């Protein structure tokens, strides 16, 4: 596989972002935001930010230490009372202004996502649009913040009393964003936290930190008070545990790998947390499915965003009677997914986040082939690029059947019937998403009820979008809690019961 890169990769930002990203000797330098001040790390340390497009250094980011984390948390703690007292209407207005500013600089954000992560221009623009929409939809979320009145005369021990149950901000939210949607996913944690009246300490993903730094600058310009949103950049192994376990962190919102999520949960102690972790979605294709739809959507589900999605279709379980036809059509559909420089108009699959990730996917493919799978298309790897790959007749002892692939691989297995498909789907240790393709409503409903996951999509690939529908994991390795409009803001609040005489 040969990849032709179209010129040097650069991050282009306007003077508007100057406080957050300052010129360096050769590449821009990302700053920390602590207590309303953009600054370098306390110890002056930095780390390189490389583009997976060509492996070049495109920026340097401040490498936060424990001292920086402590200062960020202290700033968020100090800002709590005033921000909690800020009228909700004012918080909504800040979000509205942020949406407008983000729209003005949409091209800058999209360009940063392309350079930082290697998404195609179309995918990057879609992520920016989704973030802008999420800011605009915050008014829908706040409608979920309501209390309850409970009369006491229904019980002997509460006669003469009544209660009002209030929903209040939890305090300070630690937000951890993943690399695969470096703007939208961290924004979808920050926005509801702020709307509910919380302060936030947000940690950018080390592999793609630029979009979060830009996003914080937008909120600053929108009028968010100092100390309400603090941004730190650095290695999770150095500062993640401190941020999660700190006594002044009231809640954790994390999206990322299962192993890191488990580590954060172990160190955090008894505090509220939302964890969206790994996925191993099954796409079940029954004999009565519309094969044109099933093929298009399962290939899309496997290859979109180079497969780097927690809701990606990791394995396709096809009923035996249509198996060969499905495989033949899937091969033709896979040909449409050209791999290359994501800045090229013809490219549909860009690089993975780095060479290590591409090698991991390549190893999973090699393991499957060694155990008897048929490699029908792709399979080659070059630096951070992995060809869109089709594997058929994948045996059940292949690791790729049970692990989160996080790469552009269509893994296809034959199944005898629906019962077998459901059993195989549920055998996974993950439980985030799944899909079923069928023209029979009874089969669709039966499958949806039987699958042990947080979301089941019928006749389409799983997609979380802006969160109009709630999503989240069901099994421990896929996390706890729910994200989505109204649901995310619910996670960022706590209940208080006020009992009074009547």
Chain Cα centroid distance, residue 34: 24
Task: Record the tokens describing residue 4, joined without a space.
Answer: 């032709």
**CA gap 389, 176 in Å, rounded:** 31
Stated length of the chain: 502
- Give the containing element (helix H, strand E) for 327: helix 323-334
Phi/psi at 458 (5° precision): -105, 125
Q: How many other CB atoms sit within 10 Å of the CB of residue 253?
A: 28
Catalytic choice (71, 95, 220, 310): 310
Within 8 A by CB and 6+ apart from 25, the residues are none
Task: Record the tokens describing residue 460, joined without a space.
Answer: 């389409």
Within 8 A by CB and 6+ apart from 4, the residues are 340, 341
**CA gap 342, 118 in Å, rounded:** 6
**CA gap 102, 378 in Å, rounded:** 38
Q: What is the DSSP string of 335-402?
A: TT--BS-TTSTT-SB---SSHHHHHHHHHHHHHHHHTT-EEEE---EETTEE--EEEES--TTSHHHH
Q: Report how far apart, in Å, the C-alpha atoms of 247 and of each of 70, 241, 267, 269, 450 are.
A: 11, 12, 11, 9, 40
**How would you list the strands of the sheet with 29-30, edge to edge?**
21-22, 29-30, 57-62, 46-50
Closest C-alpha to 406, from 464, 351, 461, 456: 351
Catalytic choice (71, 141, 220, 276): 276
Q: Is 310 among the residues known to form the active site?
A: yes
Within 8 A by CB and 6+ apart from 257, the residues are 277, 278
Closest C-alpha to 115, from 44, 27, 189, 185: 27
- Give the containing element (helix H, strand E) for 98: helix 88-104
Which 8-state DSSP code applies to residue 494? E
Q: How many other CB atoms sit within 10 Å of the CB of residue 494?
A: 14
Question: What residues are annotated to the active site?
Answer: 276, 310
């Amino acid at each position: 596989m040969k990849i032709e890169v179209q010129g040097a990769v650069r991050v282009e930002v306007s003077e508007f972002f100057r406080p957050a990203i300052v010129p360096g000797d050769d590449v821009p330098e990302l700053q920390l935001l602590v207590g309303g001040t953009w600054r370098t790390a306390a110890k002056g340390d930095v780390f390189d930010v490389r583009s997976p497009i060509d492996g070049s250094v495109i920026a340097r980011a401040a490498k936060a230490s424990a001292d920086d984390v402590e200062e960020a948390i202290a700033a968020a703690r100090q800002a709590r009372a005033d921000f909690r007292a800020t009228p909700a209407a004012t918080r909504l207005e800040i979000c509205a202004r942020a949406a407008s500013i983000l729209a003005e600089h949409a091209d800058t954000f999209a360009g940063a996502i392309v350079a930082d992560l290697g998404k195609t221009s179309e995918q990057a623009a879609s992520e920016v649009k989704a973030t802008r929409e999420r800011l605009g939809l915050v008014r829908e979320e706040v409608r979920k913040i309501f209390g309850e009145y409970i009369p006491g005369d229904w019980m002997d021990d509460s006669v003469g009393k009544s209660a009002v149950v209030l929903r209040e901000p939890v305090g300070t939210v630690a937000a951890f964003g993943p690399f695969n949607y470096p703007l939208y996913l961290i924004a979808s944690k920050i926005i509801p936290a702020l709307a509910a009246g919380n302060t936030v300490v947000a940690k950018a993903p080390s592999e793609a930190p630029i979009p979060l730094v830009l996003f914080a600058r937008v909120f600053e310009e929108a009028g968010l008070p100092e100390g309400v949103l603090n941004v730190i950049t650095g290695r999770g192994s150095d500062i993640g545990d401190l941020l999660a376990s700190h006594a002044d962190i009231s809640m954790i919102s994390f999206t990322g790998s299962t192993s890191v999520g488990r580590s954060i949960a172990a160190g955090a102690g008894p505090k509220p947390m939302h964890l969206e972790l790994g996925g191993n979605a099954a796409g079940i294709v029954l004999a009565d499915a519309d094969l044109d739809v099933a093929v298009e959507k399962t290939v899309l589900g496997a290859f979109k965003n180079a497969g780097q999605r927690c809701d990606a279709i990791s394995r396709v379980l096809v009923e035996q009677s249509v198996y060969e036809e499905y495989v033949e059509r899937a091969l033709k559909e896979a040909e449409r997914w050209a791999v290359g420089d994501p800045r090229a108009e013809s490219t549909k699959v860009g690089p993975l986040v780095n060479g290590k990730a591409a090698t991991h996917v390549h190893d999973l493919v090699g393991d499957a082939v060694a155990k008897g799978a048929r490699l029908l298309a792709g399979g080659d790897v070059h630096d951070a690029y992995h060809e869109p790959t089709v594997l058929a007749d994948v045996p059940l002892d292949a690791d790729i059947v049970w692990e989160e692939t996080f790469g552009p691989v269509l893994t296809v297995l034959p199944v005898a019937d629906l019962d077998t498909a459901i059993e195989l789907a549920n055998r996974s240790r993950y439980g985030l998403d799944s899909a079923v393709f069928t023209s029979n409503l009874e089969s669709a409903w039966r499958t949806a009820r039987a699958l042990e996951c947080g979301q089941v999509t019928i006749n389409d690939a799983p997609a979380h979008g802006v969160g109009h529908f709630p999503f989240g994991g069901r099994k421990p390795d896929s996390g706890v809690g729910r994200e989505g409009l109204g649901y995310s803001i619910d996670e960022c609040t706590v209940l208080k019961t006020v009992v009074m005489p009547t």
